[in-house]
Structure 1
Amino acid sequence: SGSSNALTKPKANATLGTASTSQPNEQLFKKFLDFMENSNQ
């Protein structure tokens, strides 16, 4: 699933960029992304 991770990461970063101003749970989402990255390696 390394290739799918490469495809989804830019989307996730874009989502974080737009969510940072309106979403209060941005920290949670970042932690979730970090967890997913670690589990993929």
Structure 2
Amino acid sequence: GLTSYPYRLFAPAIMISIIILSFNLLGDGLRDAFDPKLKN
């Protein structure tokens, strides 16, 4: 279980963090591409 192998939690946590970060960057890129009004 997780009590004897706590490091098994690190890989999925890191993968989820990378996926969320990539979605945030993708959303920012799409917003910049489709909303030129927001650029200063």
TM-score, length-normalised on structure 1? 0.40
Q: State which structure, 1 or 2, has the greater radius of gyration over its C-alpha atoms.
A: 2
Higher RCO structure (Cα 8 Å, ≥6 apart): 1
